[in-house]
Structure 1
Amino acid sequence: MTHATPTPQHDPSAPDDPVVPLTVAAVQAEAVPGDVAGNAVTAARLVERAARAGARLVVLPELFLPAYHPPALRNDPVGTDVAADDRQVVADPRLDPLAAVARDHRVVVLVGAAVRHPDGRRTCSALVVDRSGRVSAGYAKQHLWGPDENELFTAGERGATLLVDGWRLGLGVCYDGCFPEHGRAAAVDGAHGYLCPSGYVVGSEHRRDLYYRARALDNTMYVVFANAVGGAAPWRFNGGAAVYDPEGRSLGRAGDHGEAVVVARLDPVELRRVRDAHRMLADRRADQGGTRLLFPG
């Protein structure tokens, strides 16, 4: 895993493009507020299900380990957080079932958590569980949504890229994906895909589906969108977990209700075909039109 500082330009024909397909899974599931240990067991079960279907990378929803439930996060910060050390390593025995499944099935996992850092910051983060079972705080959400998140968390300050079998995968969390610049920063830095653990509530279905299709097509990259489902209003979530191809087409999508694991294959040949046909990354102008003219009406 590397933390990415976007460069001004990226050549999409660079030789670091992937050469083998990668099978991924986007998960939607309901978490129990405040129950990190129990939710880790649920996550482990779903990761095993995805791995048995061939997935080598599994993405679970935003804040899945404590559940996206601001009252629980506010009332029990010690119980709902996991602690990262100064190397971003998370050593929490409650996550042992998830680490064991990742290790036993040789699968990489991305899962949402509330992370407490040595300097006292609390972030809405995506944990990376690697194939050895090591857990790291991989990425802290940069765009915090609404008063609850801004009260509970500190925004992240940098992007991150996950490297899996030659695939460069930019990391985002939910609201990050609403900003075209966030996905574009990952693509300009060389990402072939964009992973988004999320928590979209009932009533946001149109935006939920549009944002991530757009990020895929804008940047000719795969997008893996995981989402929470179920819960009680106002934190009742709408599922729709999906994998989108580099033209924004759905390779698999779950319904708006119920637990689901969506498995799809990221294909390097298709990535190259789309990027050869739709050259937005190569043709984009750094000056975005240069000096703008004002015409009186």
Structure 2
Amino acid sequence: MRVAAVEAEAVPGEVERNLETAAELIARARADLVVFPEAFVTGYDDAVFGGALPSSDLAWIGPVQDAVDAHGSVVVLNTPLDRGTLSSVVLAPQAEPWLAYDKQHIYAAERTHFTAGERGTSFTLGDFEFALSVCYDANFPEHAAAAAADGAHVYLASGAYFPGGAHRRDLHYGARALDNGMYVVFAGLLGAPHAFIGGSAVFDPLGTKIASAQDGLAIAELHLQAVIAARETQRMWTDRRATLGDRRRHALG
């Protein structure tokens, strides 16, 4: 399975231009699966979030669907929507776009505009099951753990990290991979209006970064056997207890 995580700039408020950029990147990636950064359709911008947002009927998504149909890729495209969610749309060749996932952990600065999704989402492609996440979701180990418990082999993350966030970004995604014996594919936004730092990468099931962005794309081959082997040798997931019981507390002095 060839996957590509996009690292690119979205022009704030320029939906048509950003959709054209997305179509160009899909053509360049030549991948089975392409993942885009958070809010790529509109750009991640407070002023944009407070205005008219793309409709949840997805009538505007045609240029990306055309690229998907032409190149045979499955695409995860993240966007804010007029219903007040930061949502990932999954597009597959010759299929209706699927409004698949709403970001479940809303960062403080986003709460003016967005509400949290109520459920996780996974989809199957070939031999793999892919779980969806958006940026802040990955700060919570239980989010990826719930996906792994439900059968996911790969954790797909669309994000937008501010300057100074590189260490935390890489640590979280590497840890989610190692904790759960799963691949993590992270697509990071670049540029305006907050000097977003990108960092698109693919981590293997042992938490090792196996691909970084080159010319806008981090590309890697995923192998199901690597997930199986990691879960056999790194047994944190297998040996995890469902409950740790009631916590004991005692005051000393």
Give the TM-score normalised by the residue count of structure 1. Answer: 0.82
Residue matched to 2:141: 180
Give the alignment of 1:1-297 within 5 angstroms: 22-51=1-30, 55-74=31-50, 76-77=51-52, 80-84=53-57, 90-92=58-60, 95-116=61-82, 121-132=83-94, 134-147=96-109, 149-232=110-193, 235-254=194-213, 260-288=216-244, 290-297=245-252
Q: What is the CA–CA distance in structure 2 between the aligned matches of 1:136 and 1:115, rounded to whole Å?
A: 14
1:246-285 CA-partner distances (Å, limit 9, x unpaired): 0100110137xxx510110111111111111012222111
What is the CA distance between 1:131 and its match in structure 2?
1.8
1:147-171 CA-partner distances (Å, limit 9, x unpaired): 3x10111111111002111211111
What is the CA distance between 1:177 and its match in structure 2?
0.6
- Contact 1:115–1:137 at 8 Å: present in 2 too? no
What is the CA distance between 1:91 and its match in structure 2?
2.5
Over the residues paired in the alignment, what is the CA RMSD in angstroms?
1.3
- Contact 2:2–2:33 at 8 Å: present in 1 too? yes
Q: Secondary structure at the match of 2:111?
A: helix
In structure 2, give the amino acid aligned to 1:124. L
Structure 1 gap ranges (5+): 1-21, 85-89
Q: What is the CA–CA distance in structure 1 between the aligned matches of 2:4 and 2:93, rounded to whole Å?
A: 15
Residue matched to 1:16: none
In structure 2, give the amino acid aligned to 1:82. S
Q: What is the CA–CA distance in structure 1 between the aligned matches of 2:228 and 2:6, rounded to whole Å?
A: 27
What is the CA distance between 1:103 and its match in structure 2?
0.8
Q: What is the CA–CA distance in structure 2 between the aligned matches of 1:72 and 1:296, rounded to whole Å?
A: 52
Q: What is the CA–CA distance in structure 2 between the aligned matches of 1:231 and 1:34, rounded to whole Å?
A: 11
What is the CA distance between 1:96 and its match in structure 2?
1.7
In structure 1, give the amino acid aligned to 2:65. A
What is the CA distance between 1:133 and its match in structure 2?
5.0
- Contact 1:91–1:135 at 8 Å: present in 2 too? no
How many matched pairs?
252
What is the CA distance between 1:295 and its match in structure 2?
3.6
Q: Secondary structure at the match of 1:97?
A: helix
In structure 2, give the amino acid aligned to 1:58. V
Q: What is the CA–CA distance in structure 1 between the aligned matches of 2:209 and 2:218, rounded to whole Å?
A: 11
Q: What is the CA–CA distance in structure 1 between the aligned matches of 2:90 and 2:36, rounded to whole Å?
A: 11
What is the CA distance between 1:178 and its match in structure 2?
0.6
In structure 2, give the amino acid aligned to 1:168. E
1:6-35 CA-partner distances (Å, limit 9, x unpaired): xxxxxxxxxxxxxxxx11001110001111
Q: Percent identity?
A: 42
- Contact 2:144–2:176 at 8 Å: present in 1 too? yes
- Contact 1:102–1:133 at 8 Å: present in 2 too? no
What is the CA distance between 1:240 and its match in structure 2?
0.8
Residue matched to 1:7: none
1:36-81 CA-partner distances (Å, limit 9, x unpaired): 1110000010111111xxx10000100000110111221x22xx32
Q: What is the CA–CA distance in structure 2 between the aligned matches of 1:169 and 1:130, rounded to whole Å?
A: 14
- Contact 1:138–1:160 at 8 Å: present in 2 too? yes
What is the CA distance between 1:210 and its match in structure 2?
0.6
